Amino acid sequence: MLTVLSKIFGPHRAVSIYAFLKTWGLPVVGGVGVVVVAAALLLLNDSGEHEHDSFMTVAVLSATPINGDLKNGVIASVKLPDGSATSITSTEAPISQTVGTSACVEKRVYVDSGEARYRFKLPRYCEAS
């Protein structure tokens, strides 16, 4: 690398550039990389706005208490009305304790992407619909 630098910049400048790259090159490249990744995440991120779509009662395929206790939450696989299955996690004790063979789920749709997301709700929301 030193020979290439000396052909481009001359022997005295090549040594200075080489010493700078050896001591500060990796931190500078790392810092620039972090700034580029952070800027890309900031600029390419959507707003995250969502709209409520519906409440629905779904069948629970399996439910596992977090750390063996429903007070800590539940991870459950549910069957959606369109026939597909998804996994939903809730860490709120009052909601987690209502998950049995069926559960009340809120469907939320993100404005920018149209992607549907689901979360557990208290059964009273599904009874009111």
Where would I find the H helices in the chain? 2-9, 11-44, 93-96, 123-128
Q: How confident is the model over 66-112, as pLDDT tens digits? A: 998 889 999 999 999 999 999 999 999 999 999 999 999 999 998 88
Percentage of residues in the chain having pLDDT higher than 70: 98
pLDDT in the model for residue 2? 84
* pLDDT above 70: residue 129: no
Residue 103 CA to residue 43 CA, distance in Å, equals 38
CB 97 within 8 A of CB 70: yes
Strand, helix or coil at 59?
A: strand
Q: What is the dihedral of CA 7, 11, 17, 18, to 10 degrees?
A: 90
Residue 49 CA to residue 93 CA, distance in Å, equals 26
Q: How confident is the model over 25-57, as pLDDT tens digits? A: 889 999 999 999 999 998 887 677 889 999 999
